[in-house]
Structure 1
Amino acid sequence: MAKIPFNISASKQGNRGLIRITGTIGLDTNADLFRSQVDSLVNDGVTDVHLYINSEGGSCFDAAEIVNIIQSSFSGRITGEGGAIVASAATFIALHCNSFTMPENGMFMIHKPSGGKEGNVRDLESYTKLLRDIENQYYNVYKNRATDPQLLEQQWNAGDWWLTAQEAKDNGFITDVKGQATIDERTAAVISACGCPRGKFPKIKKVATNNENKGESLSQIAEALDLPSDATLKQILEAIAKLKGEETPEKAVQSAVKMGCIGVSEQSEFLTIARTNPKVFAGLMRKRKIQASADVQAKIDNKVNTAIFDKRILATAANDWRKLFDLDFDTANAVLNQIEPIGKIVYHESRQDGKKPENRANWTLDDYRKKDPKALASNPQLYERLLEKEQTK
């Protein structure tokens, strides 16, 4: 798994409900189950609910839907507590609690909602309006709690605002600071991936005691960073370096343009996403790379299959040509275009009368039907090629 799995559940604890939200928020993962659990609590007469949140954020739209479900279902008091990290969309849920407690070594981070979408102008305009509406909704919630609205506006426009639990309390976003959270290497990797400044990074509790455990910890860190579980330490450090900003948004976008993942006209839009939310940008780039790879393979398959059909190459050589195209598409294409199709090679049949044999290079299907139908009957591939040529006229 590339990320800590999202999990949301609702259960009864004494006379009140307990809702746990962990991992990357995405309500569509198990929305029906969560709603059924909430409905069961409501039918059981539960009015008060307590939330536990340990999340790096996720979908701002899903977070808003979670809030809607909770507020429309429970008429009593809503209390909450955070784990090691309450960030991004998770803070929006936290601020809808009547009270919210954080451990003193926990991290609280807010920023503007961000996202990305592909489509035509109408699709993008519609999505932009939707994103602007959700941004205003988020900002107003923070502003209603902020002890210093001017500082909030300044930080809101600056980017990620990382606060310790005490700073979150001083700024009005939470109500209490109590206890300590256990922050292991996996949780630390998630906090690091979110971009927590080095100066505010919480202390890590060492859990690896032998080489086997250390290897397992590296695997967990790799997965939290969206890397393969068998990623090397060098790859992990490079990924963390990128997320910490050592690779600037400008360089990331330029690199994506060179790889063909971003069009020239899209640079400005994706630069904004890279600056405001590197995680969303990285996710979009992964999707673009997968699509680009699929497009290239489709293009290669089309070139190779056309060459086989035109009798430029043998079908048995198809895989070799695909490898050549993978290595250098332009060079392979140039070489392939220099190969004369068999159909264009002038060949002559022997004639007993001594006359010059006829050149059949330009014969049509109708010519063969009239002049040499036996040739069609004995050569099905010739018939199919001529029929295809005639149908495409």
Structure 2
Amino acid sequence: MKNRLISIVTAALFIAFSGFDVVAMSKDYPLQITAEAKGTTAEIRISGVIHQWQNSAAEFKKQIDGIIASGIKDVTLYINTPGGSVFEANEIANEIKRFSGTVTGYGGALVASAGSYLALICDTFEMAENGQYMYHKPMGMISGNEDAIESNLKLLKNLTKQYRTAYAEKTGLSEDEIEAKWSKGDVWLSAKEAMEQGFITSVSSKKEKVTEDQKALFVACGAPNIPIEKSKTETKMKNRNELIAKLKLPADATDEQILAAVSQATEKAGQVEGLQEAQATALKEQAETLVDNAITQEKKITADVRDQWVKMATNDLAGTTAILKAMPAIAKPSAGLEGGGTPQAGRDKWTLEDYQAKDPAALEKMIVEDPAAFAKLEEEYFNK
């Protein structure tokens, strides 16, 4: 696999093994590459967009020289990149290939494009459980006269062929199968899918921390599945004992079980709230129907006191129904009732039935102007 990496660079053909704007994205996610000795192993870390490698090349090569001189042969390679320049990725790979021992690879949240090709030089490659792997055809921007364009197009076709062969040899898939997959565009795989298809050798039980910047990078790359940043509850679970007690879970409940119970409780709470709202709406509708019927059909109350009666019916539908049922229809005030509706002396012993029978207009006025007196009549009526 290692002998198939390309070592050609041409100024007329800029090939970025990626569909995004490498130059623009590299400003927000610059290439970061380091190499240092960790015991008997060289630890190399690559992150950010693979662009402007020349800014890091001299220092990186110096670090590699020192590590090799110390006798270290094996490498652990960490990759978390959306990809970038094919040629720069190849130069980085050539530096790593200088080590004579085993190259053990680890993938973070994103191993894509030229990053996925870098992963091919590893003897083994493990990805985070929530990591995503993406590969596709090399892409290029060709400029120049017709001779230059024809020459560079041939180079691009050769690169595509060699990459297709490299992926096929790594995975065991045929070149026709690789062609069929990437001819449709970017091929995005979960860590599990990448392992099942042979691009990587294992999946870690650990999840990579997903930051807001990492999420933005997935969006910029056109990933179909944008990872969700882990919440404080998921990452820290400081109040786990309190949650376990409130949710009535066993003391040894896992974070996943706690989160599932919280989600279920939240869903139930939402259902209860929705039911309560529906019941309140239905009750108000019943109250309005009751009062409107008393106004328009039964002629027991007048429209100017509708809101007060609706409020009363909403608070006590059964009691208000009973009051309205017992009330007679509104009669014209008679001369013997001293003003028809104006409270008069001598009525201090009148009951609710007396007002309903003798002066319903006065009763309506009392409800509006003296609700305390009406409440007293109502209480005497229901408690006698």
**TM-score w.r.t. length of structure 2:** 0.51
Q: Which residue of 2 aligns with 1:5?
A: 30
Q: Which residue of 1 aligns with 2:192?
A: 166
Shift of 1:144: 0.6
Do residues 119 (structure 1) and 118 (structure 2) align?
Answer: no
Q: Which residue of 2 aligns with 1:97?
A: 122
More deviation, 128-137/54-63: 128-137
Q: Which residue of 1 aligns with 2:109?
A: 84
Shift of 1:40: 1.1
Distance (Å, rounded) in 1 between the aligned partners of 2:161 and 2:28: 28
Per-residue CA deviations over 1:79-132 (Å, capped at 9, x if unaligned) read: 110111000000111111000010111010000011103222222223222222
- Alignment check: 8 A CA contact 2:142 2:153 kept: no
Distance (Å, rounded) in 1 between the aligned partners of 2:42 and 2:69: 12
Shift of 1:160: 0.3
Q: Which residue of 2 aligns with 1:247?
A: none
Q: Which residue of 2 aligns with 1:272?
A: none
- Alignment check: 8 A CA contact 1:111 1:159 kept: yes
Q: Which residue of 1 aligns with 2:180?
A: 154
- Alignment check: 8 A CA contact 1:64 1:93 kept: yes
Q: Which residue of 2 aligns with 1:43?
A: 69
Secondary structure at 1:66 match in 2:
helix
Distance (Å, rounded) in 2 between the aligned partners of 1:147 and 1:163: 17
Secondary structure at 1:45 match in 2:
coil
- Alignment check: 8 A CA contact 1:113 1:135 kept: yes
Q: Residue type of the partner of 1:48?
A: D
Q: Residue type of the partner of 2:203?
A: V
Do residues 192 (structure 1) and 252 (structure 2) align?
Answer: no
- Alignment check: 8 A CA contact 1:86 1:109 kept: yes
Distance (Å, rounded) in 2 between the aligned partners of 1:135 and 1:66: 19
Q: 1:132 aligns with which of 157, 178, 186?
A: 157
Q: 1:177 aligns with which of 199, 203, 208?
A: 203
Shift of 1:190: 0.5
Distance (Å, rounded) in 2 between the aligned partners of 1:23 and 1:57: 8
Q: Which residue of 2 aligns with 1:217?
A: none
- Alignment check: 8 A CA contact 1:61 1:134 kept: no
Per-residue CA deviations over 1:239-288 (Å, capped at 9, x if unaligned) read: xxxxxxxxxxxxxxxxxxxxxxxxxxxxxxxxxxxxxxxxxxxxxxxxxx
**TM-score w.r.t. length of structure 1:** 0.50
Per-residue CA deviations over 1:287-336 (Å, capped at 9, x if unaligned) read: xxxxxxxxxxxxxxxxxxxxxxxxxxxxxxxxxxxxxxxxxxxxxxxxxx
Secondary structure at 2:29 match in 1:
coil
Shift of 1:133: 2.3
Secondary structure at 2:80 match in 1:
strand
- Alignment check: 8 A CA contact 2:34 2:46 kept: yes
Q: Residue type of the partner of 2:219?
A: S
- Alignment check: 8 A CA contact 1:19 1:51 kept: yes
Q: Residue type of the partner of 2:69?
A: N
Q: Residue type of the partner of 1:114?
A: M
Q: Which residue of 2 aligns with 1:362?
A: none
- Alignment check: 8 A CA contact 1:94 1:100 kept: yes
Q: Which residue of 2 aligns with 1:203?
A: 228
Distance (Å, rounded) in 1 between the aligned partners of 2:231 and 2:140: 35
Secondary structure at 1:75 match in 2:
coil
More deviation, 35-44/96-105: 35-44
Distance 1:117 1:28, change over 3 A: farther
Shift of 1:206: 5.2
- Alignment check: 8 A CA contact 1:147 1:170 kept: no
- Alignment check: 8 A CA contact 2:130 2:190 kept: yes
Distance (Å, rounded) in 1 between the aligned partners of 2:74 and 2:117: 19
Q: 2:41 aligns with which of 2, 12, 16?
A: 16
Larger radius of gyration: 2
Per-residue CA deviations over 1:327-364 (Å, capped at 9, x if unaligned) read: xxxxxxxxxxxxxxxxxxxxxxxxxxxxxxxxxxxxxx
Q: Which residue of 1 aligns with 2:245?
A: none
Shift of 1:4: 0.6
Secondary structure at 2:49 match in 1:
strand
Q: Which residue of 2 aligns with 1:296?
A: none
Q: Residue type of the partner of 1:188?
A: K
Secondary structure at 1:205 match in 2:
coil
Distance 1:94 1:125, change over 3 A: same
Shift of 1:139: 1.4
Q: Alpha carbon RMSD of aligned pairs, Å?
A: 1.6
Pairs within 5 Å for 1:1-393: 2-26=27-51, 27-71=53-97, 73-149=98-174, 150-178=176-204, 179-197=206-224, 200-205=225-230
- Alignment check: 8 A CA contact 1:184 1:206 kept: no
More deviation, 165-174/4-13: 4-13
Secondary structure at 1:116 match in 2:
strand
Distance (Å, rounded) in 2 between the aligned partners of 1:31 and 1:117: 25
Distance (Å, rounded) in 1 between the aligned partners of 2:213 and 2:57: 26
Secondary structure at 1:30 match in 2:
helix
Shift of 1:142: 0.6
Distance (Å, rounded) in 1 between the aligned partners of 2:177 and 2:150: 30
Distance (Å, rounded) in 2 between the aligned partners of 1:184 and 1:130: 38
Per-residue CA deviations over 1:186-230 (Å, capped at 9, x if unaligned) read: 101111111111xx33222358xxxxxxxxxxxxxxxxxxxxxxx
Q: Could you list the runs of 5+ residues in structure 2 that have no partner in the other structure?
A: 1-25, 233-384
Q: Residue type of the partner of 2:64?
A: V
Shift of 1:24: 0.3
Shift of 1:147: 4.1
